[in-house]
Structure 1
Amino acid sequence: MRDAASGRERLSPGQSEHLATVHRSGEHLLTLVNKVLDLSRIEAGRTVVTPSDFDLCELLAGLKEMCALVAANKGLTLRASAQFLGSAEAGSKPGSPVRLSFEVADSGVGIAAEDLAGLFQPFVQSARGQKHGEGSGLGLAITHEFAELLGGAIEVHSTLGVGTTFTFTIVAHEAAREQPLDAGEGRPVVGLAPGQAVWRILVADDDAGSRRLLVQMLKPLGFAVDEAGDGQAAITVWERWHPHLIWMDMRMPNLDGRQATQRIKSAPRGADTKIVALAASSFEEERAEILAEGCDDFLRKPYRAATLLEMIEKHLGVRYIYGEAAEAAPAMDDRARVHALQSLPDEWLARLEEAAIRAEMNRVEQLIEDVSAQSQAIAVDIQALADDFDYRRIIALVQRARRRAHDQGDGERREGRA
């Protein structure tokens, strides 16, 4: 089907549905593969716990937001609450162990007593799960192993017709913040403070889009940036240019990031260059190995721009110029989003729908940027959905807006004829 306005081929409704099915199947397959990899690493003793500081309240709030969307899509109600003991009341101090307890309860059909015994075994499902073909029987087995790795345990209590409650504990440690928060926290970086060296940064990644994203982020701030498409090219650029820091993707053709890191670090002057590993989530368990092979730090994809800039500051001592913090606009609800989208050109909506269906991240972001001057509020709001890779919601919103605009147009034409 050809779009009359743009002259481009558009997917028919049937093709869109088939493509969405393929996309969902691919996501399910990727989830299953990652679960099998997680389980195999645990059973082989290759999974290690790498402590890192995090904000528990922020983590729980993020989990609540993410799970609320999934629950709403299934017509379920989600309630979440948290209770904390202050450090003084708990008698803890920075570095001391803290036992965290979590409880997840539902009001579902419950689990039969005969199914409870093997519930945490790999590939074992309850009778209901087998009947409906749901899940893979790996999630609880992995959760059980992770709880034990973190010094805790998991238990389950269930009553048929009433519901099920999972309770688990883990051991964490009170984090210490030796320095106060940076004055620029929460404010956008707009450039490099004067009086510094010309900071040279190399982006080594076989994906051209990922390289371009980093280059477009760093160059306008004042960094000198070069690129490399594989490990051997990264070594060649390093020998010629001696960058201060390399963003090194771990998975590249010809020579991967680990081998390139080892060669650079073993060469004269190699220790002068900081190398930060860029790795997908499936590499998270290999963080310790990656650091042991010479990388100075580890950043998991996808990452936030603020996190990346903080890491540059950490390793190079870069000083930034900050702009004024933008006042956060209240998030739109779906009704407001549809109303705002209706006012935008149908050609733009069609292109956004097509890009979202195809999950073309760079094209979605470019389309949002194109319309930001016309409607900043909806651009910011849709960009937030894109940042969360919530393309399904973007597609649904655009389709509703186009249908509503089309229906209103038909109504106005009928009134004109009358």
Structure 2
Amino acid sequence: MRVENNFYENLTKEELLILLKEKEDIIYSMQHDNRKCENIFNNSLDGIYKSNPNGKFIVVNTALVEMLGYDSKEELLEINIKTQLYLNLKDREGVIDQFCDKEKEMHRVYKKDGSIIWIEDYGRNIYDDSGNILYYEGIIRNVTDIKRANDIQEVLLNISQYGYEDQDLKNYNEYIINQLGRLIDVSNSYIAFYNNENQTINIPFVSGENGKEDFPVGKSLTGFLIKGKKPLLIKSEEFQNLIKSGEVELMGRMSKVWLGVPLELNNVVIGAIVLQSYDDENAYKESDIDLLKFVSSQICLAIGRKRNLEELAISKEVLRKVLDNIPVKVFWKNKESKFLGCNVSFLEVNSFSNENEVIGKTDFDFNNKEDAKKYRADDVATMLSGKPKLNYHTQLIINGTKRWVTTSKLPFFDENNNVIGIIGTSEDITERKEGEIKLKKAIKEATLAKEILRKVLDNIPIRVFWKDKESRFLGCNKCFYEALSFKSDKEVIGKTDYDLNSKKVADITRNDELEIMNTGIPKLKFRETFIDDGEQLIFSSNKLPFVNQNNEIIGIIGTSNDITERVKSNEKLKNATDEAIAANLSKSTFLSNMSHEIRTPMNAILGYSQLLQEDDNLTKVQQENLKTINKSGEHLLALINDILDMSKIEAGRISLKLSDFNFTEVLKEVEQLFRIKATQNKIDLSFNIEKDVPKVIKADESKIKQVIINLVGNAIKFTKQGFVQVSVSKISNGILQVNVKDSGQGILKEEQETIFKPFEQAQNGDRVIGGTGLGLAISKKFSNLMNGDVVLESELGKGSTFSFNFEYSESLETILKEEMEELQVIGLSENNKNLKIAIVDDRFENRDILFKKLNPLGFDIKMAENGKEAVELYEKWKPDIILMDVVMPIMNGIEATRRIFEISGNHNVKIIVVSASALESEQKEIMDLGATVFIKKPVIFNVLLFELQDKGGVDFIYEKRNRKIVENQESTPLEVPLIMKDKICSAAAEGDFILLQNLLEDLKIETNSSYDFIENCINEMEFEEVINWFKS
């Protein structure tokens, strides 16, 4: 101080004043700088601080207080920087360590409310003279927004790059959510895809969960977003308002805040990305919408890329398939004309097995040097010009044969439009060239054909014409224009029907043609009527669309033919046909009625005779008389059946009745039937059945038996001496053949077809009396019906062979009928005692016969005379079986059957039809109603018993038949008295059936002998055979 005072003492007053002024200026300057620093300190946007090494702020400015969210500087000065500001001690130490670094790292710090911000700390250490840290001072800058911007930029860049690296959408969606998690809360987030067609949403990825199956979009908030096509940020209050308004429905738990952005691809919403928070309603801000928009665009870009790649792969595959399936060689080369690839046709033509054998090679490797030079020159010229060279033809020698080839080459460009090679095609057009030659020839021939067609058209007696769309004639043939009194078709061309006919006719014609041209449907074989000089003319016309080479209708083509005379002839023919049909119907009706009228009394005759035959007290003569009655009745029945069969055949109403039967037994029956007669005629009758002929077959037994009987009977009838040989063979699977060979007189060749016609017999040789002349005609028709035939081989004087073949099917050996013939029914089984049976018939004798046959067997029987009584009887008595006639007064059997079934309920009644009706329509109608079986009158009792058992379910008790009928020894012609012989021959010559029967009975009584042969001849009405027997 003494030194300083001495300094001032030595100064002058002026010097002191100057010095004082300088100090004042210094003080002022210092005060000004302090105020300036204070202003900067207090008004800085960045936080400024001083802090000690112990973690306490010494000085802070207002900006730092506000940055950290404290209420005052004093409050901030109280916190512990190490524990309350930094997230951990390492972050604090890291900040201090970086004070000397030029580049600062960002650090996280807590605000008062616990939220985190990012800062950069620009601080320095302040040391004392000893080098110890006195305090820290520095500036803290809030870089949260910068950090978020950087993070957003990084996240978006990552999302964008990953979309190109990974094509798996599921992985990409998961990656997006993970990246978004760096920026915002994604703990409850999902990506949804929308199916507009099905109105469903699919969520393949939910944060932390597996995807969800499709579910209806309904009124979900996601659906609301998708349909609105705009981003949506709503909180729970707004959500509830939407629910109340009915615009959306709550699905699951309500979130406090919900953020969604639509996924839009090519201006079509395909889904949405959604974030939601169940805890923090401030979890998302409006600024997050832009973030999600970008993410949405990247997802859509990835989907678009994936679709494009898939489509590109498909296109590539389709292109490859197209290339490999076209019959043209396709190849592509680089600038050096080295092959880069080719299609299958190229490989096949050049005998390569795969594309690798071609790639990298040039034409010099595959062709001779001269051709290869040409190909290379073409390649170079195409690449230099940059223009395609199309469809140029060259002729080559391939395998010694001249072939024409057409080639096209075009330059191959890269993305910068630089030529990098060529694409070429090559096609063998030798066939096309040859086709062109043929086409020229065809055109020449077509021209000739056109001329020929014109000549044909002009020489056919049918009018032909063709018109344009306005129905103007474009042409016609000679017949057409001459019919209109024109001299050439030129007088017709250009005219319409209005120029040639009345307006009424022309209007009809025009409307027809418009319809044909509009629909493209031809109008064929329609009739047109015109009046010419008061005479009605009828034409058969055809009109069809006239089309060009493009199949476009340009008019119509028509024909018209005068059929007036034909129509008149057809009308006459129709009238004649109607008359013939009416006559045939009358014949059929007559035959049917006659059949019924004859069968009805025949039923009584045969029925009573069968009853009488069972009487053991009959004398031998009575037995023989009854036998004659039966055989005569059966013969008459056979004649009726022949006539009726012929009538059915002519009417086309005959049908097969297939059943299982013993074919071998049928042949035995035929042999037994003719054995005596053949022996008496000194004819050697033999039957030979080959081993492979089945014993039991399924076919029409009746018709087969009828044909064989007819053929064998004819053979014996027309053979005076010698043999008749019957042989049966199997000519193939399902076809049997019966050959009947005789040594008779034979048949003239010109008569061999005649004998198969109805009512015709051969005229050569001695005429044979007897028969209707229907046998062979019926036999042939029956064989045709069985898909077979009857064929004749014969030569006059050398005998004949009739071959009968027919179809059959293998059958089980069910021959119950044959067994029944060996057994005799003696009663009902215990289970069927007093079985109720009703007999319904309008004829007393028919009812009486059935009653007398069935009553002894133990049936409980009641009877009715017509259908009305039958219905009443059923209602009261409920019979188990009904034997029903068809043709009856008051109510017929068909109506009765219908009514009985209507009222039967659960009662299982069996209706067995027993009728003489010959009409198949009646048979079919009653069987369709549910009848059990149809039996024709006259009734063969064994057949009735069989059907009662087989179809009616009746159980019988049987015993072996044991009849002892003494057969008289067969007599010879020499044993017949001369007077009786003359009487019988005279009666036979006159064809007197009754007298012959009476004379035969007298002869039997007189000689006490049997004459089976004469009896058979009388019953068969073969009277000439009787005369021949006596002559022998």
State TM-score, norm by structure 2: 0.28
Deviation of 1:77 after TM superposition, in Å, equals 2.7
- Change beyond 3 A, Cα 1:41–1:397: closer
Number of the residue aligned with 2:686 = 80
Post-superposition CA distance 1:168-220 (Å, at most 9, x none): 10112222147999998844333333355631101122332332222122222
Post-superposition CA distance 1:217-244 (Å, at most 9, x none): 2222221001123333322322222211
The alignment partner of 1:298 has SS state of strand
What amino acid sits opposite 2:758 in the alignment?
Answer: P
Number of the residue aligned with 1:400 = 1003
Instruction: Provide the rounded CA distance (Å) in 2 between the counterparts of 1:30 and 1:315.
Output: 26
Check the 8 A contact 1:106/1:163 in 2, yes or no: yes
Residue 63 of structure 1 is aligned with which of 670, 694, 700?
670
Residue 750 of structure 2 is aligned with which of 90, 114, 121?
114
5+ residue gaps, structure 1, are 1-19, 337-389, 406-418
Check the 8 A contact 2:660/2:813 in 1, yes or no: no
Number of the residue aligned with 2:661 = 54
- Change beyond 3 A, Cα 1:233–1:93: closer
- Change beyond 3 A, Cα 1:126–1:290: farther
What amino acid sits opposite 1:48 in the alignment?
Answer: S
Residue 225 of structure 1 is aligned with which of 845, 857, 861?
861
- Change beyond 3 A, Cα 1:239–1:395: farther
- Pairwise CA RMSD: 4.3
Number of the residue aligned with 1:357 = none
Structure with greater contact order relative to length (CA < 8 Å, sep ≥ 6): 1
Residue 266 of structure 1 is aligned with which of 902, 926, 930?
902
Post-superposition CA distance 1:129-172 (Å, at most 9, x none): 99667644432222111101011111001111122211110112
Deviation of 1:71 after TM superposition, in Å, equals 5.3
Instruction: Provide the rounded CA distance (Å) in 2 between the counterparts of 1:77 and 1:281.
Output: 40
Deviation of 1:31 after TM superposition, in Å, equals 5.6
Deviation of 1:251 after TM superposition, in Å, equals 3.6
What amino acid sits opposite 1:53 in the alignment?
Answer: D
Instruction: Provide the rounded CA distance (Å) in 1 between the counterparts of 2:858 and 2:913.
Output: 22
The alignment partner of 1:79 has SS state of strand
Number of the residue aligned with 2:967 = 332
- Change beyond 3 A, Cα 1:180–1:262: closer
Check the 8 A contact 1:261/1:275 in 2, yes or no: yes
Q: Where does 1:307-326 land on structure 2 (aligned, <5 Å)?
A: 307-323=943-959, 325-326=960-961
Q: Where does 1:124-203 land on structure 2 (aligned, <5 Å)?
A: 124-128=760-764, 135-177=771-813, 186-196=822-832, 198-203=834-839
The alignment partner of 1:267 has SS state of helix
What amino acid sits opposite 1:193 in the alignment?
Answer: S
Instruction: Provide the rounded CA distance (Å) in 2 between the counterparts of 1:309 and 1:150.
Output: 29
The alignment partner of 1:126 has SS state of coil
Residue 300 of structure 1 is aligned with which of 932, 936, 943?
936
Alignment partner of 1:211 is 2:847: yes
Deviation of 1:310 after TM superposition, in Å, equals 3.2
Number of the residue aligned with 1:43 = 650
Check the 8 A contact 1:50/1:288 in 2, yes or no: no
- Change beyond 3 A, Cα 1:235–1:393: farther
What amino acid sits opposite 1:199 in the alignment?
Answer: L
What amino acid sits opposite 1:400 in the alignment?
Answer: L
Q: Where does 1:376-395 land on structure 2 (aligned, <5 Å)?
A: none
What amino acid sits opposite 1:81 in the alignment?
Answer: F
Residue 98 of structure 1 is aligned with which of 734, 754, 757?
734
Instruction: Provide the rounded CA distance (Å) in 2 between the counterparts of 1:36 and 1:94.
Output: 26
Larger radius of gyration: 2
- Change beyond 3 A, Cα 1:168–1:284: farther
What amino acid sits opposite 1:56 in the alignment?
Answer: F
Check the 8 A contact 1:277/1:295 in 2, yes or no: yes
Instruction: Provide the rounded CA distance (Å) in 1 between the counterparts of 2:820 and 2:641.
Output: 37
Greater share of residues in strand: 2
What amino acid sits opposite 2:967 in the alignment?
Answer: M
Check the 8 A contact 2:817/2:946 in 1, yes or no: no
5+ residue gaps, structure 2, are 1-627, 700-731, 972-992, 1009-1032
The alignment partner of 1:128 has SS state of coil
Instruction: Provide the rounded CA distance (Å) in 2 between the counterparts of 1:146 and 1:327.
Output: 38
Check the 8 A contact 1:97/1:174 in 2, yes or no: no
Deviation of 1:284 after TM superposition, in Å, equals 8.1
- Change beyond 3 A, Cα 1:119–1:316: closer
State TM-score, norm by structure 1: 0.63
What amino acid sits opposite 2:687 in the alignment?
Answer: S
Number of the residue aligned with 1:342 = none
What amino acid sits opposite 2:898 in the alignment?
Answer: Q
Instruction: Provide the rounded CA distance (Å) in 1 between the counterparts of 2:766 and 2:947.
Output: 46
What amino acid sits opposite 1:321 in the alignment?
Answer: I
The alignment partner of 2:683 has SS state of coil
Instruction: Provide the rounded CA distance (Å) in 1 between the counterparts of 2:749 and 2:816.
Output: 52
The alignment partner of 1:119 has SS state of helix
What amino acid sits opposite 2:884 in the alignment?
Answer: M
Number of the residue aligned with 1:372 = none
Post-superposition CA distance 1:16-56 (Å, at most 9, x none): xxxx9xx98x9988766543432232233211112112221
Check the 8 A contact 2:736/2:808 in 1, yes or no: yes
- Change beyond 3 A, Cα 1:77–1:178: closer
Deviation of 1:256 after TM superposition, in Å, equals 3.3
